[in-house]
Amino acid sequence: MSEASNQLPEPFNIDGPLNTIGNTTARVDAVERVTGEAKYSRDIKLPGMLYARVLRSPHPHARIRRIDISAASSLPGVRAIITHETAPIVWGAGSVDGGRQYNDPTKEGTQQRRFIFNNPVRCVGDSVAAVAAVDRTVAEQALKLIKVDYEELPFVLEPEAALEPGAPLVWPEGNLCPDFRHNYEPMVSNLGDIDAGLAEADQIFEDRYETSFVHNAQMEPRCALAHWQGQKLTLYTPTQGISNCRHDTARDLGLEDHQVRVVCNFMGGGFGNKNQNQDADLVAATLSKAANAPVMLEYSRKEDWLGVHGRWPTVQYYKVGVKDDGMVTGIQMRGYSGMGPYRKNSGGISGMDAYACENRQRTIYPVYTNRTTSGNFRAPAEPHGFFAVESMMDDIAYKLGIDPVDFTLKNMNRPTEARPYTNFSLDECIALGRDQFDWATRRRVTPGSDEGPIKRGAGFSFMMFRAGVGTSSAIVRVDSNKMYTLFVGVTDIGPGAKTTMGMIAAEELGIPMSQLEVVAGDTDRCPYSVGESGSRTTIQTGYAVMQAAKDLNQQIAAKGMPSGNDVLIASATPVPTTDGKIRQCFGAHFVEVEVDTRTGTTKILKYTTVHESGRIINPQTAKDQIRGATLQGIGQALHENLLYDPASGQPLTTGYYRARHLTHLDVPEIEVTFIEVDDGYGPFGAKTAGEAGIILAPAAVANAVSNAIGKRMTSLPISRDKILQVLL
């Protein structure tokens, strides 16, 4: 472990909890959540509200020759019908070159535009028309009266097949998605000299990995309630970013931002598929305008599965050069990401950046297919990439007779003088996890060496993930009764953002939580916030809260507490930096599994996680973020998939049972340990926690299964059939 001597000095470990931060605190809205008082978007009713339904394509690829809405229009109770002919509205965030979802110029330059209704339709479930009617029954009846004359077109489902000559074209320009400069080229990143690196190696290892489409599958299906009052649109919609949703909706509808109000007080999960605005918002708004009444659009579970998005499926080819002593000299990866028919997000495949090897080449082909759209899911580019590259490295370690943990400690990324970190604790995470888990005992030095049909094995994975700082806004106010109000444009999508923001404010203000009200989830009441995506809320909006509170404290010190009807108000929109240093969170997972080689069933016996996410704001919610994310990763590793019938292009596993989501009975105990550090950045040193856990789980589980059965599992999910197949 001579590399360890390269480490920069560790920052100080933190002492005990502060006054509020570091103490487990019940959510500020916990009572509403357990009494049913919490109003989610679909719970809101407005007088005269209509109900809307969407007609969707039954074909994977078809041109619409003609839509006849006459019979549907004359059905009593129908108030509005819109189609691609009558509502040619571009959904800017639905397809954006390079997947650059927060970049307006890129969106404007995107040529392969996605409309709220498209012709041709490019996947089963693509939207064709929408109806608003007096009730759900009439709306559903009207859908059946819309006559659509389809000309079926050839389709392609698999990304590699889509790039072959003569493949059916999803877009006329070809099936390779354009990059953010609108060029039809793969995403290539080169570091060092890959040819020299591979030439330097004593051994070359190559393999192919693949990962499945995994639906976000949040419990709350998509919906949107649109209400126009004059030229102002109010949207009650489940979104992971009210500010972004407002801006995107305004742009798509040709409005100014201030003409759109987005309200989301409670939100039933998203994990990345409720970022920005969604087509449901635009469809509801357009129907509402046409019908001159509030419109509630509700997606069914199946529509949510096919009409929103999930994690992109990938195929990844690796070529790794290694010295006989286990030092990696070159990593080459060629990857294919199936984006469905629209480029909603990047299609990224990360993971190899976690290795220090200086010769790396990554080429990713984001590819259009006639599957449902792919997009962001909790750590969008990571779990599938870390699974493949860490499986590859695990395999190499065993082939060289090296403990995979030692192999990692030899090869993982570490700070250098050229690449300093705000702090680096991966060594500590790995060391602590290895001890707690008892790695030496549980690992099979010879994979698959257990006697008998039931075999045990252990797997390990590690990760480093962005925890960068950035801008956001907050406002805090105090009145003469010493009651404080914090205005933040966050929505609580599950991790507890309202509470976290309140705790940061209370800490900085030196007040108990009971003296503070948190106002969130409404663009007309709250300032800009970055949105609950990219693990940014705690770090970025939390930092703004801290700065606003500091300002208010200074005002109170200078002017005294307000009296009478007076209030003091402070706002902050800081633009923090990390002084050129890399800021990441770190983690290591260790898992023991038992595989029944007669049935192919995998059971998790022990799961140990160690994470460094800076200072922990709210210990219980942070722990549950890691546990929940880890379980989602286990589901990705063992079960979840969206299978298609190759002959018909029909999706087969559109729901919880079919995709085999984890239930209470599938859940092992996930042990969580945080190494707490304050690196001096972010609010009180807090870092990323929400996405961290899912990154490691597929790699750790896959490595454990391979260790148990002695065969490398290269395809997710590691379902029973695949285990039985490799053991044949």
300 binds another protein (CB under 8 A): yes
Q: How far apart are CA 486 and CA 545, in angstroms?
A: 8
From candidates 121, 333, 493, 699, binder to another protein by CB under 8 A: 493
Which of 606, 625, 617, 608 is CA-nearest to residue 708? 606
Closer to another protein by Cβ: residue 87 or 396: 87
- Closest distance to another protein from the beta carbon of 704 (Å): 19
Location of structure tokens 């007080």:
265
- Closest distance to another protein from the beta carbon of 9 (Å): 36
Residues contacting residue 608 through CB under 8 Å, at least 6 positions apart: 433, 436, 437, 589, 590, 591, 671, 673
- Closest distance to another protein from the beta carbon of 240 (Å): 11
Site for another protein in 15-34 (CB under 8 A): 26-27, 30-31, 33-34
- Closest distance to another protein from the beta carbon of 298 (Å): 8
Site for another protein in 577-636 (CB under 8 A): 620-621, 624, 627-632, 635
Phi/psi of residue 621, nearest 5 degrees: -70, -35
Closer to another protein by Cβ: residue 347 or 635: 635
From candidates 164, 195, 206, 669, binder to another protein by CB under 8 A: 669
What's the 3-state SS for 657-694? HHHCCCCHHHCCCEEEEECCECCCCCHHHECCCCCHHH
Closer to another protein by Cβ: residue 124 or 723: 124
36 binds another protein (CB under 8 A): yes
AA identity, residue 538: T
Site for another protein in 261-280 (CB under 8 A): 266-269, 271
Residues contacting residue 270 through CB under 8 Å, at least 6 positions apart: 216, 218, 238, 239, 240, 493, 532
652 binds another protein (CB under 8 A): no
From candidates 205, 228, 317, 656, binder to another protein by CB under 8 A: 656
Closer to another protein by Cβ: residue 302 or 410: 302
695 binds another protein (CB under 8 A): no
645 binds another protein (CB under 8 A): no
From candidates 174, 420, 655, 680, binder to another protein by CB under 8 A: 655
680 binds another protein (CB under 8 A): no
What's the 3-state SS for 287-354? HHHHHCCCEEEECCHHHHHHHCCEECCEEEEEEEEECCCCCEEEEEEEEEEECCCCCCCCCCCCCHHH
From candidates 3, 10, 37, 149, binder to another protein by CB under 8 A: 37
Answer yes or no: are the C-beta atoms of 237 and 41 closer than 8 Å.
yes
My answer on whether omega of the bond before 120 falls inside 30° of 0, hence cis, is: yes
- Closest distance to another protein from the beta carbon of 699 (Å): 18
517 binds another protein (CB under 8 A): no
Assigned token pair, 665: 């009975």
**Binding pattern to another protein, positions 221-250, x when CB under 8 A?**
x-----------------------------
From candidates 662, 724, 726, 727, binder to another protein by CB under 8 A: 662
Assigned token pair, 213: 């489409």
Closer to another protein by Cβ: residue 160 or 671: 671
Segment (H or E) for 517? strand 516-519
Given CA atoms 350, 99, 125, 648 in this order, what sign does their dihedral have?
A: negative
Quickly list H helices, 540-618: 542-559
- Closest distance to another protein from the beta carbon of 145 (Å): 10
From candidates 496, 576, 600, 683, binder to another protein by CB under 8 A: 496
Binding segment for another protein (CB under 8 A), chosen from 138-146, 328-336, 348-356, 519-527, is 138-146
Answer yes or no: are the C-beta atoms of 285 and 291 closer than 8 Å.
no
Q: How far apart are CA 284 and CA 267, in angstroms?
A: 18
- The residue count for binding another protein (CB under 8 A) is 79
Residues contacting residue 576 through CB under 8 Å, at least 6 positions apart: 469, 470, 471, 543, 681, 682
647 binds another protein (CB under 8 A): no
**Binding pattern to another protein, positions 77-116, x when CB under 8 A?**
xx--------------------------------------
Answer yes or no: are the C-beta atoms of 67 and 147 closer than 8 Å.
yes
- Closest distance to another protein from the beta carbon of 129 (Å): 9
Closer to another protein by Cβ: residue 493 or 545: 493
**Binding pattern to another protein, positions 118-137, x when CB under 8 A?**
------xx--x-----xx-x
557 binds another protein (CB under 8 A): no
Other Cβ atoms less than 10 A from the Cβ of 174: the count is 15
| Local structure of 516: helix, strand or coil | strand
Q: Report the Cα–Cα distance between both ends of the chain, in Å, rounded.
A: 40
- Closest distance to another protein from the beta carbon of 58 (Å): 5
Closer to another protein by Cβ: residue 402 or 662: 662
Site for another protein in 306-335 (CB under 8 A): 306
673 binds another protein (CB under 8 A): no
> What's the angle, vertex CA 588, arms to CA 582 and CA 376, rounded to 5?
65
> What's the angle, vertex CA 552, arms to CA 550 and CA 557, rounded to 5?
95
Site for another protein in 142-181 (CB under 8 A): 143-144, 146
From candidates 97, 252, 279, 303, binder to another protein by CB under 8 A: 303
From candidates 514, 665, 721, 728, binder to another protein by CB under 8 A: 665
Q: How far apart are CA 633 and CA 347, in angstroms?
A: 18
Site for another protein in 435-464 (CB under 8 A): none
Site for another protein in 39-68 (CB under 8 A): 39-40, 42-43, 45, 53-58
Beta bridge partners of 612: 586
Q: How far apart are CA 502 and CA 517, in angstroms?
A: 8
- Closest distance to another protein from the beta carbon of 28 (Å): 11
From candidates 229, 664, 721, 728, binder to another protein by CB under 8 A: 664
DSSP state of 40: B
Site for another protein in 65-84 (CB under 8 A): 75-78
- Closest distance to another protein from the beta carbon of 77 (Å): 3
AA identity, residue 109: G
Closer to another protein by Cβ: residue 147 or 181: 147
Binding segment for another protein (CB under 8 A), chosen from 5-13, 225-233, 342-350, 663-671, is 663-671
Other Cβ atoms less than 10 A from the Cβ of 127: the count is 24
Q: How far apart are CA 605 and CA 624, in angstroms?
A: 19
Binding segment for another protein (CB under 8 A), chosen from 422-430, 487-495, 584-592, 598-606, is 487-495
